[in-house]
Structure 1
Amino acid sequence: MTNATASHVVTEPKPLELPRAYNAATHFIDRHLAEGRGAKAAYIDVGGTHSYSDLAGRVNRAGNALRGLGLEMENRIAMIMLDTIDFPAVFWGAIKAGIVPIPLNTLLTTKDYGYMLADSRARVLVVSEALLDKVTPILADLPFLKQVVVSGADAHGHVLLSDLTAKAGAHLEPAPTTSDDVAFWLYSSGSTGAPKGAVHLQRDLAATAHFYGDGVLGIREDDLCFSAAKLFFAYGLGNGMTFPLHVGATTILLADRPTPESVMAILKDHQPTLFFGVPTLYGTILADPSNRRETASLRMRACVSAGEALPEDVGKRWQERFGAEILDGLGSTEMLHIFLSNRHGEVRYGTSGKPVPGYAMKIVGDDGREVPQGEMGELVVNGPSAAVAYWNQREKSMATFRGAWTHTGDKYYVDDEGYYRYAGRGDDMLKVGGIWVSPFEVEAALIANEKVLEAAVVGFPDGEGLIKPKAFVVLQSGLNGGEALVEELQAFVKARLAPYKYPRWIEFVETLPKTATGKIQRFKLRTK
C-alpha cells in the first residue's frame, strides 16, 4: 500500500523488530559512519555545518565527559539547552553511556526549574550559558544536584562543556542497555496543570521514526529539515533529531525563539524541504501578507503541524499561499510523537487524519466502552512508543496508562470518511443547554474571520449560573475591539455553527496564555 503525490511516495512500514540488546545511539548516530555518511552534513546551527562524523565524535566525547563526572548507568541528567549542536551531542552521548537525559523547556521560570530538578533528582545539569541565570538562585536548594555544566563561552564559576569534552576520549562503547531500558524522560508541557515526567524507553525513538517518519512523513536522506518546535519538546525531538538521524538527512537548528521573522528568514536562506511548525506560528506568518512562497522556501515539499489542532481555515490558506500541504496530526509527550495524522495527497483540513501505521485507536464513552462512529468520546491509543509511567505519580500514571492503552484526555469523533475530528480537551468541553459544545469548533469559526488572529473559548456562568461559551480574541495587528466588533463576530459564528454555540461574551486581549510549545492554557482563562 502506498500514498503518493507528485513528490511523495510513502510505503506502508513493516512491523518493527528490535533486538533485546539495544542502544538507540547505535542506530541514530554510529550507523551513519559505517554506511558512509561521515562527511555528510548532519546539522547546521549558529556555529556552522557539522558532519555526521563530527556529530559522532561529539556524542562520544560528551558521553565520556559525563562518565568522567562520576555518572553511572541509569543516573539522570537534566538539560536546559538551546538548539545548537551541543544539544544532540549531550542527549545522544548520555544515551550511549546508559545515562538518562531529561531535556527541559528553555522558556520556564526559576520556580518551574526548581520543581523539575528536585522531582527528577538529576545529578548533573547541562545548561546553556544564556539560561544559567534562571537556575542560579535555586542551585543551593537542590541536594541531589552535584554538578552544573555550562554550554557556552563562560562557565560563571561552574564547568564548561567544551573543556570537559576536549579532555574526553573520542571512543565510547555503547552501554549494555536493552530495548526496554529507560532511555530519557520528557516533562509534559503543563497545559492542564503541573508538568509530569514521562519515562520513555530505548525502543520508543525507533518506533516513532519507523512508523511516522517512514510510514507517514516519508522522510528521505536528501531532505533538509527545519523544525520551529524546539528539541526539548516531544514534537521537536522527533522533527529535529529522531527522524532526520534515522535516514541520514540534514537539520537546521535555530537557537533563538522562533518568531515569524526568524522562521521566514531560515525558510528563505536555507530552502528546507520539510518544515515543522505549530498552528499559532502558521497563523501569525499568514497574518503578514508579505510572507509568501517566493519569500519562503521554493523547495518545501511538505509541512507538519502538531501541538494543537490546526484550524481548517489556516491549513487551506497556507497551502494556497505557500504551495505545500500541512500534515496536521495529534501527538503527545506520553506517546512521544504523532500517532494520528493526515497523509500526503489525502489531507482533510479541520481533521487530525487517520491512525499512523502501528497504532490503534478507540473512542470511548465515560463507561469505557467504544462509542458508535460519529459520536464523541475520549480518544485512547495503543502504540509502540508509549511512556511506561509518570515519574513518582502513581495515580496519574494509572489513570493515563491502562494496560496497552493510553488515555489522551482529548475528545474526538470519527466522521463518515474515517477521519478523526478534534472536539477539545476533556476538561475544556462545555455543556450548553444540556448539549456538548467543542471549544475548538467555536475557536475555528472565529479564526476564519479575517479580523481575528487567535481565539480561545472557555465556559463562563451567566446570570443564572448556567455555563455558556466565552471567547478571548486576539485581533490582527492594527485593529481595535469594541461592541460593534463583538456583535459582528457573534453573528459571524452564528452563521457558521448551530446558534447555541456562539460566544455570549467576547473579550479582546493582547495575547493568550500558552505553554512554550504553543498550547493554549485555557485553565488560566477560566479564572478571568
Structure 2
Amino acid sequence: MVQSGNAAVYFVDRHVKEGRANKVAFREAAGARRAIGYGELADQTGRMADALARAGVTPETRAAMLVLDQLEFPVIFWGALKAGVVPIPLNTLLAGPVYEVILKDSRAAVVFVSEELWPVVEDAIKASPYVRQVVVIGENAPEGTTSYVDFIAGAEAQDALDVCPDETAFWLYSSGSTGQPKGVRHVHGSLQATSDTYGAQVLGIREDDTIFSVAKLFFAYGMGNGMTFPMSVGATAILFNGRPTPDSALAVLDAEKPTIFCGVPTLYAATVAHLEKAAKPDAPLRCCISAGEALPEEVGKKWRALWNCDILDGVGSTEMLHIFLSNAPGDVVYGTSGVAVPGYDLRLVDETGADVGAGGIGELLVRGASAADGYWNQRGKSRATFEGEWTRTGDKYELTPEGRFVYCGRTDDMFKVSGIWVSPFEVEQALVSHPSVLEAAVVAARDEEGLEKPKAFVVLKQGVDADGLEQDLKTQIQTKIGKWKYPRWIHFVDDLPKTATGKIQRFKLREEA
C-alpha cells in the first residue's frame, strides 16, 4: 500500500496519467444530471486549491463543508487536500444550534454552503467569531457571502501540496448516536487504507462499476462508498442530493443502473416492505452492502429473494473511517456481522480487559491502519477510546464457535434480566420477523420493583392495525428466543429517532422509558 504524499494525488491526479481523463467520475442523479470526468476533476480541484490560497486560507486551516451530494462536494474536498487545508464535511440534517457548536469547536475559517442549506446555518455562521469567509454554492449568494462561481473564477490549477501521509487531512464529526458529535481527525494515509482493505478485498470494486450510495458523502460510510472507493479504481459514482426513501432509491436504481448499491438497514427494511406492493425496477446489481446498524436477518433474506443479490452486512465507525468487520461475497451468514476485514484485527474483551472467547459476550476492539488520530479537544475521550494500536468500538458482540461475530448492542444498551445478559438487537430481530412489523427498538426500563426489563418501541407496516398485536408479539419473542427476554411493555410508534446515518438513537428512547 502506497503510504506517501497527498491523498489527492492517488485518488484524483493519478487517473489522468493512467488514461482515465475522459472517464466519468461523478454523475448527478437528479435535476440537470451534471457529470464530471477524472480529467476535469483534476483541473477543478487544482483550481480550488489556488482559489483557497488566493483567499488567504493557509495550510492546516479548517474549512467547514455544509454541502449536499453534488459535483461541488468532491471538488471542494480534494481541492482542500491539495492546498493542505483541512475540510470538515458536516451532516446536512442538523439543527442550527448544533452547527453553531461545531463551527465554534472546529474554529473553521471558511464555510462552503449549498444554497438550499443557507437558511439553517446562517445564524450559526454569524455567531462564530472564527468564520472569515462564506462561499455559497448556487445561483444566489446572500449579502456578505461569495458565490462559488466567483470564488473559483480566474484560479489556475495548482499541484497538490507535498505532505506526509500522517498529516491531518480532514475531520468528520461523529454522528451523535449517544449525544453531542465529536470532531474526529483523520490523516491522509487513512483514505487509501480503507480502499486497499474493504474496497478492494471485500467489495471488490472494479473500474467498470457504477456505484450508488444512499448514505451521504458527509459521513464516513458514505464517503467511502460514494467517493474514495470508486475513485480508487476509476469507477463512476452516482450522486443523489435528495432524501433517501424507498421511492427515491428505487427510482435512481431504475434510471442509473448501478452495479453496486450501498444502503442502511432502515432503508433496506422499508424498501422490502414497499416492494410487497410495488414492481421491482430492473437494475444490474452485483453487490449490495449495509452498515450503520446491524442488518436484521429477515431483511437480508427477503432482499436476497427479491434481487438474487446478497447484502454484505458490515460494521464500521467514524473513528475507523469505514467497515472493518463484514460478511463477504460467497461468505454471507445473515444475522451475523461476519469476520474481520483483511488488514484489521479484532478482539472481544470483558469489563477487566481480559479476552473473551467463543460463546462469550464482550466489547469489540479493532486494530487497523485507518484509525483516527483522536478527537479534537476531547483528550479524556481520546484516551478512553484509542488505546495504543487498538480502538474501542463501544459495541458488544458474541463470538460464535465458527469465528463469526454476532451483534448484541451498544455497550450502554446492554442490560441483564434475571442475571442474564439481554441483547436488544436479538429481541429487535425477533420482533421484525413478525409480518406486521417494519422496525423495532428495545431498551431497558424498570418495573414496579425497580428491576430492569425489556421495553419495545415498534413501527408497524403501513395499513396494519395494532389491535391485538401486543400479546401476539410478546408470545412470539418468548417462543423464538426465551421467556425472560420478551418485552414487558410494547409501545407502537410512527417512527424511531435516528441519526442521519440511520442509527437508532436509543438514548432518546431510554429517556422516554
Q: Same fold (TM over 0.5)?
A: yes
Residue-by-residue CA offset, 1:115-140 (whole Å, 9 max, x unaligned): 11110000000010000011112222
Are the equivalent residues in 1 in contact too, given 2:86–2:168 (CA < 8 A)?
yes
Residue 297 of structure 1: CA displacement? 4.0
Unaligned runs of 5+ in 1: 1-15
Are the equivalent residues in 2 in contact too, given 1:285–1:291 (CA < 8 A)?
no
Aligned counterpart, 2:72: 86
Aligned counterpart, 2:472: 488
Alignment pair present for 1:122 and 2:93: no
Match of 2:25 among 26, 36, 42: 42
Match of 1:345 among 321, 330, 354: 330
Distance 1:298 1:134 in 2: 36
Match of 1:167 among 154, 170, 175: 154
Aligned counterpart, 2:506: 522
* Pair 1:360–1:291, CA change in 2 (3 A): farther
Residue-by-residue CA offset, 1:245-297 (whole Å, 9 max, x unaligned): 000000100011111111000101111000000000000001113577x7334
Are the equivalent residues in 2 in contact too, given 1:271–1:296 (CA < 8 A)?
no
Are the equivalent residues in 2 in contact too, given 1:272–1:297 (CA < 8 A)?
no
Distance 2:478 2:274 in 1: 27
Alignment pair present for 1:360 and 2:340: no
Alignment pair present for 1:98 and 2:62: no
Are the equivalent residues in 1 in contact too, given 2:409–2:425 (CA < 8 A)?
yes
Of 26-35 and 62-71, the range deviating more from structure 2: 62-71
**SS where residue 347 of structure 1 aligns?**
coil
**SS where residue 79 of structure 1 aligns?**
strand
1:421-460 equivalences under 5 Å are: 421-460=406-445
1:105-504 equivalences under 5 Å are: 105-157=91-143, 158-169=145-156, 171-289=157-275, 295-482=280-467, 484-504=468-488
* Pair 1:391–1:69, CA change in 2 (3 A): same
Distance 1:140 1:23 in 2: 33
Of 44-53 and 447-456, the range deviating more from structure 2: 44-53
Residue-by-residue CA offset, 1:54-82 (whole Å, 9 max, x unaligned): 21122112221111210111110000000
Aligned counterpart, 1:25: 8
Residue 141 of structure 1: CA displacement? 1.6
CA RMSD between the two structures: 1.1
Aligned counterpart, 1:75: 61
Alignment pair present for 1:510 and 2:510: no
Residue-by-residue CA offset, 1:445-473 (whole Å, 9 max, x unaligned): 00011100000000000010100000000
Distance 1:424 1:458 in 2: 10
Identity of aligned residues (%): 54
Distance 2:424 2:391 in 1: 23
Q: Under a length normalisation based on structure 1, what TM-score does the superposition of the two structures give?
A: 0.95
Of 63-72 and 470-479, the range deviating more from structure 2: 63-72
Q: Under a length normalisation based on structure 2, what TM-score does the superposition of the two structures give?
A: 0.98
1:51-66 equivalences under 5 Å are: 51-66=37-52
Distance 2:370 2:125 in 1: 34
**SS where residue 95 of structure 1 aligns?**
helix
- May I ask how many residue pairs the two structures share in their alignment? 508
Distance 1:444 1:470 in 2: 14
Are the equivalent residues in 2 in contact too, given 1:273–1:297 (CA < 8 A)?
no
